[in-house]
Amino acid sequence: MAQVRTRFAPSPTGFMHLGGLRTALYCYLFTRKHDGKFILRIEDTDQERYVEGATDVIYDTLRGCGIHWDEGPDIGGPVAPYIQSERKDSYLPFAKQLIESGDAYYCFCTKEDLAHRREAVEKEGGTWKYDKHCLRLTSEEIQEKLDAGIPYVIRQNTPTTGDSSFDDLVYGHIAAPNDTLDDMVLIKADGMPTYNFANVVDDHTMGITHVIRGMEYLSSTPKYNLLYKALGFPIPEYIHLPTVMRDSKHKLSKRDGDAYYSDFIKKGYLTEALINYLALVGWNPGDEREFFTMEELIDAFSVEGISKSPAIFNTNKLTWFNAEYIRRMDPDDYFEMAKPWFNQALSGSIQDVRRLAELMQSRTEVFSGIPEMIAFFRERPEIDPELYVNKKQKSSAESTPEALALSVSLLEGVSDWTETNIHEALLSGIKEAGMKNGTVLWPLRIALTGQMSTPGGAIEIAYLLGREETFRRLMSAMDQLTA
């Protein structure tokens, strides 16, 4: 078997879409599993959609995700260049070869001509495809137009009878009647190849053995195969991937902020968690495992595990993955990643950020959720008196004033404001007073934070707030109760 050669061929049109990233991931996993070569090719033939800096975004995203290429624009390789616009001169000779064999032809129709004929067909209830108008031109007429410098495109001459078929390693045997295939443009009026033509030529000249791409290209593949055959190229193996969807009816969308890799990184998701989850969106390892390193993914990956059905990208499931990855982080790494989010919310309002990180790590699902969770440190929200009532903690509206007064008297005796000293003073004092811990500590937590759910309990919160702020909040809470 020849060495496996695959390619990931994104267009530099902006940020990396999650569907594209998953294609790159599967392509990489498949290639590494088979000890092959993974090629990065930049497909920039659509110059109108080109975005400055987008190629660097592609590089940074892939490398950041642990997806490394063996050949590409930045590192070179035996079939350079790896940017399509730099290969421009290589396509026209193949297009002219197709013209000579009758598998392509010059088309001089203007946009206005095409729009008029399309409108007429659709008015009659038909479905428009190019009507081979220019295929009927004589060689003399064609030469006359060429000599006159009339703009043209080169179109594929698809057969009108029979069918074209291929075998896909995921979807099986697929056939399309030739009379449904359009005569797609191969070379545009500006001399640039279309994506459809360039990818066929490039895949052949780069020795690509397996084409791995989204299932949206299934309908175009019969036309590609006609080109392969007409040019005498060997046809690669095809692996088409199920579409990544938000749910059964909706695709991921830029508007909803769930379409791009960068969307999730900005929200504070970990790349490792995102890649692990994305691998499982459309692929199953065949067992119950869910957590994988990249090396484990390479070892487990197989085409047989790829689903035919649309793959649902469940953000809630990703969040669960992310929370698990955060819990497993080295505490120092967590602290470094959390610091910017702490700084955003705290503005220096606590005395021990490292201790806060220890309390927060097990509670953090997504880093962007940190500011809201700890906003009470900077400013305690207005206290709802109903929060003091907690049957489980033996706390009631009637017991709260006494509990807060006891907290004040016990904490007044703590001169060295450490968590250990606060803990000792409160728990020993509560026991001596003959009260339940929850009866005192629950209303203390509410008085200090104004909310039921906090990182750590009353003792940790009091320590983090510091002595002065703790007493300020306690007195304010007691004043509110007597108002």
Point out the residues that are catalytic: 254
Cα–Cα distance measured from residue 379 to residue 14, given in angstroms and rounded to the nearest whole number: 39
Q: Say if strands 153-156 and 185-187 run parallel, antiparallel, or are unpaired.
A: antiparallel
Backbone angle region of 434, left / alpha / beta, with phi > 0 → left and psi within -120 to 50 → alpha: left
**Residue 331: is the preceding peptide bond cis (ω within 30°)?**
no
Cα–Cα distance measured from residue 191 to residue 177, given in angstroms and rounded to the nearest whole number: 30
Select from 347, 338, 339, 351 the least CA-distant residue to 422: 351
Q: Contact, 5 vs 209, CB < 8 A?
A: yes
> Does residue 40 sit in helix, strand or coil?
strand
Contacts of 277 (CB under 8 A, 6+ apart): 317, 318, 321
CA distance readout (Å), 416 to 355, 411, 455, 458: 17, 10, 23, 17
Contacts of 380 (CB under 8 A, 6+ apart): 448, 449, 450, 473, 476
CA distance readout (Å), 406 to 2, 384, 477: 80, 21, 13
Q: Say if strands 210-214 and 237-241 run parallel, antiparallel, or are unpaired.
A: parallel
Q: Say if strands 210-214 and 153-156 run parallel, antiparallel, or are unpaired.
A: unpaired
CA angle 66, 213, 174 (to 5 degrees): 150
